[in-house]
Amino acid sequence: MNFNLLLDNLTNPALLFFVLGVFAVYLKSDLEIPPNSSKFISLYLLFAIGFKGGQELSHETFTTEIGLSMLFGICISALIPLYTFFILKRKLSIFDAGAIAAAYGSVSAVTFVTAVSYLESQQLSLHGHMVAIMALMESPAIIIGLILISVFNKEENATKIKIPSVIKHSLTNGSVLLILGSLLIGFIANTKQAEGIKPFTNDLFKGFLAIFLLDMGITSGRKLKAFFSFGIFPFIFAVIVPLLNGCVVAILSSFVTDDVTNRFIFAVLAASASYIAVPAAMKITVPKANPGLYLPMALAVTFPINITIGMPLYLLMVQHF
């Protein structure tokens, strides 16, 4: 059973396209997805998952469990950077430690989208409120990471980070705005109206996801080359910490909800690392943080670990614990 679950994920076409992208880089192929096409596909994926989540949410009744789940998600996003920062700063600069801690506390929308696809392959369906929770978990980690940098930065004439501007930037981040906006539109639209665009939001989804992961594989392959110059510590962190976060949250989530799919998504979100929202925020507010470190950690190491080993592991844990 365990082996079959892992084998199913390893032979998933979306994952294999990711591997193809990495392989193409090492073959020095000229294969690439045009930047404009890549951006369109990422926007499409966020739109589709947000809209479908809104439709699901429209059929749900707000309960104490949903309220507690939202609070639980925000707490996860705030607590992960708090403990990871102190591990990271033993080996890395304050700026890099803060940026990486923020990345691992925040969430990856693409990992979330892949997790939804994985649930469908297991004949399980996502509950709409988990889309809203995913969006809520983008920002707290960014804010905590930047506060930690500001507090521990001992450099003279250090520029203090303006938290209000950070909050505004994180809330108006394009990916957060699109997924929340799509969620709201999906919630408002009735079933007949949603049916009209179902071929676009549902039928094309897995094909676009496969192409997007091919692009992610190419990007990862390129970034992985320079990454190893930082030594073994970032690699070990990017493998062990996400799996630990995912397994711990898979167990703790049982205190908030009994639903297997909700607990699985919580575990995936806790294990994922942001490589879109956090890099965008760090580029503006902490230019001294090295993107050649936190980007490959999140994208080239943690992302493939989650979609190969992580997801089958988290699903087994929530089913048996």
Q: How much is the pTM?
A: 0.82
Identify which of 296, 269, 305 has the alpha carbon closest to the alpha carbon of residue 99. Answer: 296
Q: What is d(CA 280, CA 78) in angstroms, rounded to the nearest whole number? A: 19
The CATH T-level fold of domain 2-25+33-320 is Na+/H+ antiporter like fold (1.20.1530)
| Least confident among 37-41, 133-137, 226-230, 253-257 | 226-230
Most confident residue range from 162-171, 201-210, 280-289: 201-210
Q: Which residues contact 185 (CB under 8 A, 6 or more apart)?
A: 50, 51, 54
Count of beta carbons in the 10 Å neighbourhood of residue 29: 13
Q: Which helix (H) or strand (E) holds 87?
A: helix 64-88
pLDDT digit string, tens, across residues 75-100: 999 999 999 999 999 999 999 999 99
pLDDT digit string, tens, across residues 275-296: 877 877 787 778 888 887 888 8
Most confident residue range from 42-51, 53-62, 266-275: 266-275
According to the model, what pLDDT value does residue 201 have? 84
